[in-house]
Structure 1
Amino acid sequence: MKNKVLIIGSSNTDMVVQTQDFPKPGQTVLGGIFLMNAGGKGANQAVAAARLGADVRFVAKIGKDIFGQEAKKGFVKEGLDITYLLETDDFASGVALITVNAKGENEIVVASGANMELHPADVPDVIFEEVAFVLIQLEIPLETISYIITKCNNLGIKVLMNPAPGIKLNEALLKGIFLITPNETETEIITGIYPYDAASMQQAAEILHNAGVEQVIITLGSSGVYFSNASHATLIPARQVEAVDTTAAGDVFNGAILTALAEGKDWIEACEFACAAAAISVTRPGAQSSAPFREEFQ
C-alpha cells in the first residue's frame, strides 16, 4: 500500500505583528507583539500532516539565505522527507508580512521569492514514487501546477488542490483534480458564486463537479465545511473554540484531510478529523507552530 504523501508547494518565513485594529490606507498604528515564524502554505500543510502522523515528502524551492536555512532545519526537525528540496543562490526565500487583529483575523502580503521559481524541470519523476496522494496550492507557478496535475493523472495519483491564494482556474486545470478545498472567497473567485447558504454552496460545488472535480470541500471558517460528491451534499460543523490566530487554519485543515485520506478514512470522518485539527490550531498563534500533534486528539 502506498502510504507516503507528497506535498509540493511554498515555504515562507512569516513576520507577524499583532495589533488592535488593521490600519486603514495611509494610517500608521502601533502594534504589539512581533513574531517571526516558519510558514508558507506548502510547508504549513506538510508540517501539519507530519504532526498528525503522515509520512510526508515535501518539495519546495528556497533561497540559500538565513530564512531558507532556518526553514530547512525546521523541516528536518518535523521529520519531513526533504530529499528533493531545492536551494538556489539566485532568489531570496519567500516571506510573508502578516497583521493579526484583536479578533484573531489576519491580513497577509507575500513576497514569493524562490517559490515562484519552482518550475516543471524542478519536479523529477522520482518524487512521485510510492505516492497515492499529492497536495498542491497556488503559491508556485501555474505552469508547474498544470505539469504536476497532468503527471499525477498519468500515474493514477489523486490530486488534492487547496486553491489559495484564490485565482480564476480554467476547466483544463480543474478536470484533473480529485479534491478541491476552497474557502468562501476562493469559491466565489473560481465559480462566480459566494457560498452563503446550502443552496449556493451546492450550486458552486456543481460548477466544480461539472468541470471535472470529483470531491469538493468548501471551508467555512467557524461554520465548518460543506462537502459534496456524487453521494453527499452536507454541512459538517466546526468545533467551537475561541480563536486567537486563524493564520494557518486552512493549511492545518488541508494537511489533516490529506492524512485522513492516506489512512483510509471515509469522507465524513476525514472532514470531522480535519475540522478538529483546524479548531485546535486557531487557539494558538503562529503558522506551522500552531499545527496540533496527533496525541492532542486523545
Structure 2
Amino acid sequence: MRILNFGSLNIDYVYRVDSFVKPGETKAAQSLSVFPGGKGLNQSLAMARAGLAVAHAGKVGKEGGFLLETLQKGGVDTRLIETSAIATGHAIIQVDDKGGNCILLFGGANQDIDEHYIDRALAGFGSGDMLVLQNEISSMASIISKAKSRGMAIALNPSPYSESILSYPLELIDIFIMNEIEAEGISGTHEPEAAASLIARSFPQARIVITLGENGSLCLYKGELVRQKAYKVQAVDTTAAGDTFSGYFLAGLVEGLSTKNALDLAARAAAICVTRKGAADSVPWRKELE
C-alpha cells in the first residue's frame, strides 16, 4: 500500500504567552519561534517517522522551500509538491504557560489546489493505496471524489472543523480521525460515544476515531468500541499532538496492528509529542517509542 498525504504546508510563528490574548488586549509575548508546520506536513512526518513510505502533495509559496527540506529530512517524498504564486500558508500560534494553544491560520498556497493539480498528484495512485486528508486545503470534495474513483482508501481528519465539511462526500471516507469538537460538528452531539454511534450510523463503512485529550481516545468500527487511555506526562506544547496521533494510528493500521494496538501506539507517540515545543519538530521517531 502506498500512502499519499494531500495536505497543508505552513510556516508556524509560535508566540509564548502567560495567557491567551483577550479581545481588545495588547500584551508582550515572552518569545517568538518559527517552525515548519501545517496539519498536512505534521501528519506526513508522523507517518514517515513511524516507518511508512509517504508521498506528500500540496503547494508552497516561494518562501516555503525549508518546508520541503523538513519533509525530506523526515523521509517524506516531496516530488509532488508544487510552488504557487501565492504566499506560503502560515499560522500564528499562542502557547500559554499551561501548554495549551490557540491558532490563527492563513491558508495562502494551501488554497491554490485546482483540478489540474489534483489530477497530476493522483495520477500515480490507485486501488490498494491510501489517501490521507485534513481540512486545510482547497478543493477537498473534488480530491475525495477523484481519489475514490481510483479505488483509493481515504482517511480524513476533518480539522479545522467548518460547516463546509458537511458538503463533502463523506460517504466515501473509510477512516475518520477527529477530536471532540469535530465529532460534535459532524454528529450534532457533544457526548463522544453518542457522536461516534451517530456518525457510524450515517457512514457504516467507516472506522470512527475520536481523540479525547487527557481522557484518551476511542474507536468505533463495525459495532465494536475500543477505548484507549492517555499516557500521563507534563505537557509543554500540545500543538501537533493530534497530528502525531493521526499519523501513528494510520501507520499502525497499515502495518496490520489491531485497533487496540494502533490506538496505543498513537497514544504513546502523542504523549512524547506534547513534552516538546513546536509542531513538526515535536513529532517523535518510532525508535523513541520502543
> Where on the TM-score scale, by shorter chain, does this alignment land: which range?
over 0.9
Post-superposition CA distance 1:6-64 (Å, at most 9, x none)? 10010000000111111211112222121100000000100111111110100011111
- 1:111 paired with 2:102, answer no
Contact 1:135 1:159 (C-alpha < 8 Å) held by counterparts: yes
Q: Structure 2: which 5+ residue stretches go unaligned?
A: none
Structure 1 counterpart of 2:173: 177
- 1:133 paired with 2:124, answer no
Aligned equivalents of 1:127, 1:279: Cα separation in 2: 35
Aligned equivalents of 1:129, 1:216: Cα separation in 2: 23
TM-score when normalising by structure 1: 0.92
Aligned equivalents of 1:272, 1:295: Cα separation in 2: 15
Structure 1 counterpart of 2:60: 62
Post-superposition CA distance 1:187-225 (Å, at most 9, x none)? 112211112xxxxx2221122112225110111111110
Which residue type is aligned with residue 224 of structure 2? H
Match of 1:295 among 284, 287, 290: 287
Contact 1:236 1:271 (C-alpha < 8 Å) held by counterparts: yes
Match of 1:275 among 256, 263, 267: 267
Aligned equivalents of 1:130, 1:7: Cα separation in 2: 16
- 1:227 paired with 2:225, answer no
1:29-40 mapped onto 2 (5 Å cutoff): 29-40=27-38
> CA RMSD, aligned part only?
1.5
- 1:208 paired with 2:199, answer yes
- 1:240 paired with 2:232, answer yes
Percent identical pairs in the alignment equals 35
Post-superposition CA distance 1:83-108 (Å, at most 9, x none)? 111112x2000010000001100010
Aligned equivalents of 2:241, 2:231: Cα separation in 1: 13
Aligned equivalents of 1:172, 1:78: Cα separation in 2: 31
Post-superposition CA distance 1:132-174 (Å, at most 9, x none)? 2211000011xx2222222232233211100000123337621
TM-score when normalising by structure 2: 0.94
Which residue type is aligned with residue 108 of structure 1? I
Contact 2:126 2:150 (C-alpha < 8 Å) held by counterparts: no
SS in 1 for 2:199: helix
CA positional deviation for 1:264: 1.2
Post-superposition CA distance 1:115-148 (Å, at most 9, x none)? 001123212232425862211000011xx22222
Structure 2 counterpart of 1:27: 25
Contact 1:222 1:238 (C-alpha < 8 Å) held by counterparts: yes
Which residue type is aligned with residue 99 of structure 2? G
Structure 1 counterpart of 2:5: 7
Aligned equivalents of 1:171, 1:94: Cα separation in 2: 24
- 1:186 paired with 2:179, answer no
Aligned equivalents of 1:229, 1:258: Cα separation in 2: 14
Change (3 A) 1:130 1:74: farther
Contact 1:6 1:131 (C-alpha < 8 Å) held by counterparts: no
SS in 1 for 2:169: helix
Contact 2:50 2:286 (C-alpha < 8 Å) held by counterparts: yes
Structure 2 counterpart of 1:165: 160
Which residue type is aligned with residue 14 of structure 2? V
> Which stretch of structure 1 is more off in the superposition, 259-268 or 171-180?
171-180
Contact 1:46 1:58 (C-alpha < 8 Å) held by counterparts: yes
Change (3 A) 1:175 1:129: closer
